[in-house]
Chain A
């Protein structure tokens, strides 16, 4: 079914623009046209379809579910909900405070917030269509595991000590009266008419597409450049053995780069095609998405520097370990 996009790209690059296949320009343009049209079509259809089902899920309901959960379930569910709710950096502060003032432990809240930018339905659609189901399963498992273990680690070191004082106070009050905050503020009805679902799905599709279309262009553009202009075999020759230093370097290199997950997946595709080992690719891309300064500066409103730095360092270490691990086991995958 997805081959219509290849056919379209063939026609566009080689007939309409009369480029020659197997040249740098021809390859780049073909890659770009195929991926952009495919991704745009999939995004609109899939976001709409998923939103039909997700219409009654909102952050208030997630919070009510997580209140009072046993910690272990809390980390797992926190991370899982982080994966299925769409992420927007402007919502991280309200969600953080909403969870915290309901008395949810800081680790569970961060399981949610760490997984959220890494995994969402847009990422899934792109991973499945560009990189196949096996890579998708690996990516999702790693993303959730980073959220779950990260959350557990932060609770273990009692990270709540390093919240800003008003947030710490809200957490304390929430834990003393955990039900008080959750009973009011209606989480909305669980039943919606088909019409209401359609309206929600339509506005979600427009909203999310409006947010991510430029990331797709940017990501696919970069991927296409890599595809056409990085000499064949260069990456494989220099980084292909998963040299140990290449993983931490990739993680550090990714810090100043800032991209939405939507923009990074086409780049992952291109890097993998060129023979960058899977671990290095994962480490680089997850670091680009999750360890970004703009996000972290936002969180400064609710966290002290010490906690912020701890979370940041924790992410860098996690992604490095993920990279090493997957480079080691790559032969068995």
Chain B
């Protein structure tokens, strides 16, 4: 189970990023939890200056803009 956090203060792009990840995870059969993290403190923790940003299991993998579909798929662990 991968723990995926989408960082950003609830802007439209953050919503889209989160729902895109959820959709792709379902299609790929990846087992993930997606959670939106809107607290500003989280931005400092992960050193993020551009949102939406994506953190997987505590690792920052993406920052700034909606990630590309191919990128998202590559983040999923193959079961």
A45 is an interface residue with CB less than 8 A from chain B: no
Among A60, A166, A185, A207, the residue within 8 A (CB) of B41 is A166
A298 touches B44 (CB 8 A): no
Shortest Cβ distance from B64 into A: residue: A58
B40 touches A59 (CB 8 A): no
Q: Interface with A: B19-27, B29-37, B46-54, B71-79, which one?
A: B46-54
Shortest Cβ distance from B48 into A: residue: A94
**Residues of chain A contacted by B49 (CB below 8 angstroms):** 59-60, 63, 94-95, 97-98
* A170-B9 CB under 8 A given contacts A59-B50, A98-B49: no
B55 is an interface residue with CB less than 8 A from chain A: no
Counting chain A residues whose Cβ lies within 8 A of the other chain, the interface size class is: 20 to 34
A91 is an interface residue with CB less than 8 A from chain B: yes
Task: Give the distance in Å from the alpha carbon of A91 to the alpha carbon of B43 in the complex.
Answer: 11
Shortest Cβ distance from A207 into B: residue: B65
Q: How many A-B residue pairs have CB under 8 A?
A: 48
Task: Give the distance in Å from the alpha carbon of A59 to the alpha carbon of B9 in the complex.
Answer: 18
B41 touches A94 (CB 8 A): no
B13 is an interface residue with CB less than 8 A from chain A: yes
A307 to chain B, nearest CB (A): 15
**Which of B13, B47, B48, B49 has most A Cβ within 10 Å?**
B49
Report B38-70 CB contacts with A as 1/0, cut-off 8 Å. 001101100111110000000010001100000
* A184-B50 CB under 8 A given contacts A90-B8, A93-B40, A301-B40: no
Task: Give the distance in Å from the alpha carbon of A54 to the alpha carbon of B8 in the complex.
Answer: 24
Task: Give the distance in Å from the alpha carbon of A207 to the alpha carbon of B12 in the complex.
Answer: 13
Besides A94-B43, A94-B48, 9 new A-B residue pairs in contact (Cβ under 8 A), listed by A number? A59-B49, A63-B49, A90-B13, A94-B8, A98-B43, A98-B49, A185-B47, A185-B60, A302-B40
Interface residues of A (CB under 8 A from B): 58-60, 63, 90-91, 93-95, 97-98, 101, 166-167, 170, 181, 184-185, 203, 207, 298, 301-302
Interface residues of B (CB under 8 A from A): 8-9, 11, 13, 40-41, 43-44, 47-51, 60, 64-65
